[in-house]
Structure 1
Amino acid sequence: MAAHLKTFVLIATLLVIAMAATDRANPGIGVHQSIEQFRADCKAYAGSLKKLTIAVKNIDSTRSETVTIAKSELRNSRLAYKKIEYFLEYFFFTSSRIYNRAPKNEIEEPFLEYQEPAGMQYMEAMLYEDSPAKKKPELLLQCNLLNVAADDLTSLLYQFQASDKQLLESVRIQLIRIIALGISGFDAPLLKSGIDESYVSLQSIAKTLEPYLTKTKEDSVQYYLKNTLYFLKQNPDFDSFDRLSFLTDHALPLQKHLGLMISRMGLDTNSAGILNYHAEHLFIYNAFEDRAFGQNVPASQLEVELGKKLFSEAKLSGNGSKSCASCHQPEQYFTDGLPKSIGLNNHSEVRRNAPSLLYSGYQHNQFWDGRAKTLEEQIATVMQDSVEMNGNPAEIAASLSKDRTYIKLFRKAGLIKKKQELTEQHLYRSLAAFIRTLKPFNSDFDKYLAGDKSALTTSQKNGFNLFMGKAQCGTCHFAPVFNGLVPPLYKLTEFEILGTTLTDDLEKPVNDPDNGRFDIRPTPYYKGAFKTPTVRNAAKTAPYMHHGTFGSLEKVIEFYNKGGGGGLGLDVPRQTLSTMALNLNEQEKTDLISFLHSLTDHL
């Protein structure tokens, strides 16, 4: 028996060694080709940076054409970068940060470390300042940093190994990057090269997919890939680009069929864990994995119903007069229509506006200043806040334990067993389970993307194209939730410094004294920073902003149109919103508001 066991172990070991050797000899269907393409494209990118450096050296304050040439060379470098972006961002994320980082100080939590602006986006911002020649030393410094890094890019490939699963995931993430960021001009809002960059990115995707398409003969992927490329090539103008047609007729069907192909090949993998690759496309109700937002175990319908009952339960407050629904009224899209909610004693206001709870489950931070990481933590904070509900959750749970109706409901929902004590944690969990269901995705806009071509008016279609284009709304209110959840991996909720004025009087603007996230994370780069809320249902949730003093969508759009507080002339040194005016005309403003109305859910 022992001899047979030894023989079996030896054979199994030899098989493992043979399989490993085979894997090394045959790294996959398309991996080798993509590695070689990446190597060639890295060299081309490095070459483009040398031309950019020469152009920057030639910048002369007396010759405006030298700045124009530098902008053109930066555009070329950006296009060259987009050929390697999908591979670099996926396999070498840390190394990728120098090239295309946002042109602002980025905060790394929880230790509040920050990274200074660097790379091509930072160079774009400097080239579009009033006197770019004055920035020449800093521009040259950035050129040198980029050159040194790019010359060494191919060294990343030393002993590099990857699988077909990883490569195909990098492709599908890049497609989402195009859909949610590329066509919005997120990376280059001033150069307005987003459509050309999306075209180049998709070209790289096409090259990467060639071996897989040859093997599988996937006609649908080939068809939509070809047509999506053609549409981008034929419509390169950023401001007039028809993003809605691009998505509905080309990019989203491509995403759907690419996903089907990958699944049929058995090459699915999900390294990030937030995107649901089994969803048809990004603009659909199940595009995200709910467990990635704090719900590790799906809540039962009974638990959700219990949470819904608790949501309107005044016993959760200290004096039995307030419930969650007092400030988040379902009939008002889970707001209360007030600038700031009335406090527990009816003689005071809470500190900030009560935002809608719709889609609040799709965030990685709660409250305007992001001080809570989960809905459960937010609920606990509100229940104990002396101004809001002033309750003692442990005592409230003990009191509800004596209520036979609630005890039966908790037991029926499976949250507690017989003779088990009801705790405040059970309250938080049930309420959070209900709030996480508040994601209807059934607005007219959603119906249009689901195939109902009569769901949107011409003005609303134009408004979406403006939102994701010229008006730059989509560079902060990211698709598909249109909040601060950052594509393409959606692992981060953004905070922005807008320079929001104290009132909506934009003729006589005054700085708002609210420090925002700075009070929670005391770094100057968070002073006046607030979480980017969803604009879904914005037409029903006035007043706006963290203090609720903007009374209409017209006022909000005009604030952004003028470049926020900095554009209005206020001193906002670290404003993350561009201070440049958007120059929207009256019809464009009307179309934007029409689009926002199309985001109203049918509750």
Structure 2
Amino acid sequence: MASTGVSLYKTSPNEASEQYRPYLLEEMAKCNEQLIGILNEKSFNQSKLKKHYVSARKHYKHIEFIIEYISPKEAKYYINGPLVPKYDADMGSEVFYPQGFQKIEEIIYDGDVRQFQLLKGQVSDLKDQLSKLRDYYKDVELRDGQLLEMMQLQLFRLATMSFNGYDATISLDGIKESEWSLEGVNKAFTFFNIYAERDPLVLQPYQRSVSLFKSAHKHLVANTDFNSFDRLNFIVNYINPINENIVKLHNTAHLSWSGRKQALNLNSSTLFSRKNFNLQHFSIYYDDTLFNEKQAALGKLLFFDPRLSGGNNMSCATCHNPDKGFTDGRNLTVTTGLIKDNIRNTPSLLDVAFQKAFFFDGRAYQLEQQVFDVVHNKNEMHSTLDEAISKLNKSVEYRMLFDKAFEDKSGITAYNIQKAISEYEKTLVTFNSAFDKYIQGDLTSLSKEAVDGYNLFAGKALCGSCHFFPVFNGAVPPFYNDSEFEVLGVPASAGAKEIDPDKGRFNVTGVKEFMYAFKTPTVRNSALTAPYMHNGIYNTLEEVVDFYHKGGGAGLGIPIENQTLPFDSLDLNAYEKKAIVSFLESLTDTSGIGSRPQRLPEINEDIIREEIRY
């Protein structure tokens, strides 16, 4: 009988997931067995401790995609968080210090016997956390469609984090751990054979996926070296095709999509294109989507209108010039004239939408909030939104445009100004560079030097552990709910031996560990946005690469205790430095950004406010 496209046999929405659950619980138990092995060691025997640790990591990586999805806060703060303090404003003023697997790795691989008791405390806490989760997972609901989405997110996590050494920064086992992660995803996928057996339409993507998983695993087993691994090759030839076939199986099996409000649109054949990102995830109001195009068109006028500033002499575009990659080409930001210069370099607004923190110190958490801060900042636009409302209300044209752009006819309000400008800024998306074309399968778009450059960027040079592929900023994938802040030890000027006095993130949090910490910006279009660093001290990408190559501020001889960048040299040769710059240049893309408005709405100072009919 020919298939009609509808499953010939009914399955429950969680049949595959229930078959998978015993494996999930078994892997959690095996992980804890290895942690107990560490606790049972009587002395700091590094060889034995490493053996237990590596085995525990293997079992954890098999099921990481489940824990990261169901228990993201536990994963982030207690199980596998980064080796830097974390501060989450939504959770009060508490600072979360490194703990879990990465802290355990640091202690074991450093081989400091004086930290043996600290190691046991970390291991005991991790074991208890996993035990609690295991009890919870015995009964937690797992649905088949959602399980497939978890697998896709793990594929994204491999490409954006594991391949870049994000959670294996000391052991450099990121490729080996990716192999284990893929084993775990593949194991979960095998339980979906029940759908393939019942419907010929599901059989094709299932069999194709099984074949791809096998080939991908074989490739990872044969190429474990972190520095030489060709990440782009693996993404193009394995991750993208596996994702495509998982999506096909999901849809042909008529499994429901979770509808979860998140950054990634998973019902897409590719994981790494512009269409795969949901820009509403980065907005204050997720569901406020009516008339976004009209609001963006209005926001473009406001963005270029100097009348939003107190002196009518400065617009958003004064500092964010589209001809300069939406920067101003200056070391430090020009101001309204109250002082000669602001204290920081102007960041680009290209791809600004893909962030969860704004300004170098991260003091704003939404684009709309960023607009408010700039207008009200006395060292920038030196105005207020109330003052701007008063000016704009004197324009018949602006009043008409606001009424057309906002369905509730609320007129010119503070929120509507912020929303319109932020919607325009969300259109400044650049995912059509030579690099992006390569990821989508055009292997002629990049030179070998640029391909080598990315693999160095993500591997030996460790840049990709902070500038996450494919957005290349510090917003942490795949959920993009927070941003990384790093202490680089940037000097006060090029060649100086003292740190720049700007305290950065510390000024926002008051937390000493964030002294001199700054948000990780995107390196997309960085070839257009010189000068570089928060204080604009470097004029070329070559200078920036050399700064990291030498080990940041500490490597330059600046005394700084809390630097998060590795202190030692990256040992890059001349070709490797050149290749990294070539890769950075391949991220250049200004297509579709548009031009300046030909004219701005007129302001009539004598107009009498009345109801406008149109």
Give the structure-1-normalised TM-score.
0.88
Residue aligned with 2:34, SS? helix
Looking at structure 2, the residues matched to 305 and 267 of structure 1 have their Cα atoms a distance apart, in angstroms, of: 36
- Choose the corresponding residue for 2:14, options 28, 32, 44: 28
Looking at structure 2, the residues matched to 270 and 571 of structure 1 have their Cα atoms a distance apart, in angstroms, of: 49
CA deviation vs aligned residue, 1:338-378 (integer Å, no higher than 9, x gap):
01122112861122111000111111121111111222221
Is 1:88 matched up with 2:67? yes
Looking at structure 2, the residues matched to 493 and 95 of structure 1 have their Cα atoms a distance apart, in angstroms, of: 17
Looking at structure 1, the residues matched to 27 and 415 of structure 2 have their Cα atoms a distance apart, in angstroms, of: 53
Is 1:296 matched up with 2:287? yes
- Choose the corresponding residue for 2:145, options 155, 165, 168: 165
Match of 1:472 in 2: 462
- Choose the corresponding residue for 2:368, options 369, 376, 384: 376
Match of 1:497 in 2: 487
What is the Cα deviation at residue 487 of structure 1?
1.4
The farther-off stretch of 139-148 and 194-203 is 139-148
Residue aligned with 2:87, SS? strand
Contact 2:165-2:465 at 8 Å conserved across structures: yes
- Choose the corresponding residue for 1:118, options 99, 121, 135: 99
The farther-off stretch of 265-274 and 468-477 is 265-274
Match of 1:188 in 2: 168
Go from structure 1 to structure 2 and tell me whether the alpha carbon gap of 1:392 and 1:488 turns closer, same or farther (over 3 Å shift). Answer: closer
1:201-600 matches, within 5 Å, as 201-216=181-196, 217=203, 218-265=206-253, 266-294=255-283, 296-298=287-289, 299-345=291-337, 348-414=340-406, 417=409, 421-505=411-495, 508-600=496-588
Looking at structure 2, the residues matched to 187 and 238 of structure 1 have their Cα atoms a distance apart, in angstroms, of: 13
Match of 1:49 in 2: 35
Go from structure 1 to structure 2 and tell me whether the alpha carbon gap of 1:228 and 1:550 turns closer, same or farther (over 3 Å shift). Answer: same
What is the Cα deviation at residue 544 of structure 1?
1.0
What is the Cα deviation at residue 26 of structure 1?
6.4
CA deviation vs aligned residue, 1:196-234 (integer Å, no higher than 9, x gap):
111111111111111213422223322322222222122
Residue aligned with 1:355, SS? coil
Q: Which amino acid is the alignment partner of residue 276 of structure 1?
A: N
Q: Which amino acid is the alignment partner of residue 82 of structure 1?
A: K
Looking at structure 2, the residues matched to 395 and 389 of structure 1 have their Cα atoms a distance apart, in angstroms, of: 11
Contact 1:376-1:428 at 8 Å conserved across structures: yes
Looking at structure 1, the residues matched to 566 and 93 of structure 2 have their Cα atoms a distance apart, in angstroms, of: 24
Looking at structure 2, the residues matched to 69 and 158 of structure 1 have their Cα atoms a distance apart, in angstroms, of: 31
Looking at structure 1, the residues matched to 466 and 320 of structure 2 have their Cα atoms a distance apart, in angstroms, of: 25
CA deviation vs aligned residue, 1:116-160 (integer Å, no higher than 9, x gap):
32222112223344x622322322332333445556664334443
CA deviation vs aligned residue, 1:437-476 (integer Å, no higher than 9, x gap):
0002111101112222211000000011111111111111
Looking at structure 2, the residues matched to 562 and 169 of structure 1 have their Cα atoms a distance apart, in angstroms, of: 41
Match of 1:78 in 2: 57
The farther-off stretch of 589-598 and 212-221 is 212-221
What is the Cα deviation at residue 100 of structure 1?
2.0
Contact 1:339-1:543 at 8 Å conserved across structures: yes
Residue aligned with 1:286, SS? helix
Go from structure 1 to structure 2 and tell me whether the alpha carbon gap of 1:395 and 1:102 turns closer, same or farther (over 3 Å shift). Answer: closer
CA deviation vs aligned residue, 1:167-222 (integer Å, no higher than 9, x gap):
22322222221121111111112211111111111111111111213422223322
Go from structure 1 to structure 2 and tell me whether the alpha carbon gap of 1:73 and 1:560 turns closer, same or farther (over 3 Å shift). Answer: farther
Q: 4+ residue runs of structure 1 moved beyond 6 angstroms?
A: none
Go from structure 1 to structure 2 and tell me whether the alpha carbon gap of 1:54 and 1:301 turns closer, same or farther (over 3 Å shift). Answer: same
Residue aligned with 1:544, SS? coil
Match of 1:16 in 2: none
Looking at structure 1, the residues matched to 239 and 395 of structure 2 have their Cα atoms a distance apart, in angstroms, of: 54
Residue aligned with 1:513, SS? coil
What is the Cα deviation at residue 485 of structure 1?
1.0
Residue aligned with 2:323, SS? helix
Which structure 1 segments of 5+ residues have no match?
Answer: 1-22, 60-65
What is the RMSD of the two structures over their aligned residues, measured on CA atoms? 2.4
Contact 1:293-1:361 at 8 Å conserved across structures: yes
Looking at structure 2, the residues matched to 457 and 247 of structure 1 have their Cα atoms a distance apart, in angstroms, of: 17
Residue aligned with 1:545, SS? coil
CA deviation vs aligned residue, 1:85-134 (integer Å, no higher than 9, x gap):
122333344554533222232223241212232222112223344x6223
Looking at structure 2, the residues matched to 53 and 392 of structure 1 have their Cα atoms a distance apart, in angstroms, of: 59
What is the Cα deviation at residue 70 of structure 1?
3.5
Contact 1:365-1:371 at 8 Å conserved across structures: yes
CA deviation vs aligned residue, 1:74-94 (integer Å, no higher than 9, x gap):
333222221121223333445
Q: Which amino acid is the alignment partner of residue 585 of structure 1?
A: N
The farther-off stretch of 144-153 and 454-463 is 144-153
Is 1:104 matched up with 2:93? no
Match of 1:135 in 2: 115
Contact 2:166-2:465 at 8 Å conserved across structures: yes
CA deviation vs aligned residue, 1:519-552 (integer Å, no higher than 9, x gap):
1221222222211110000111111111111222
**Identity across aligned pairs (percent)?**
34
CA deviation vs aligned residue, 1:284-315 (integer Å, no higher than 9, x gap):
01222111111633344332222212221111
Looking at structure 2, the residues matched to 444 and 27 of structure 1 have their Cα atoms a distance apart, in angstroms, of: 41
Higher RCO, 1 vs 2 (CA within 8 Å, ≥6 residues apart) = 2
Looking at structure 1, the residues matched to 256 and 567 of structure 2 have their Cα atoms a distance apart, in angstroms, of: 45
Looking at structure 2, the residues matched to 105 and 346 of structure 1 have their Cα atoms a distance apart, in angstroms, of: 36
Q: Which amino acid is the alignment partner of residue 172 of structure 1?
A: Q
Contact 1:282-1:480 at 8 Å conserved across structures: no
Give the structure-2-normalised TM-score.
0.87
Match of 2:597 in 1: none
What is the Cα deviation at residue 387 of structure 1?
1.9
Looking at structure 2, the residues matched to 27 and 264 of structure 1 have their Cα atoms a distance apart, in angstroms, of: 14
Looking at structure 2, the residues matched to 431 and 189 of structure 1 have their Cα atoms a distance apart, in angstroms, of: 39
Contact 1:398-1:423 at 8 Å conserved across structures: no
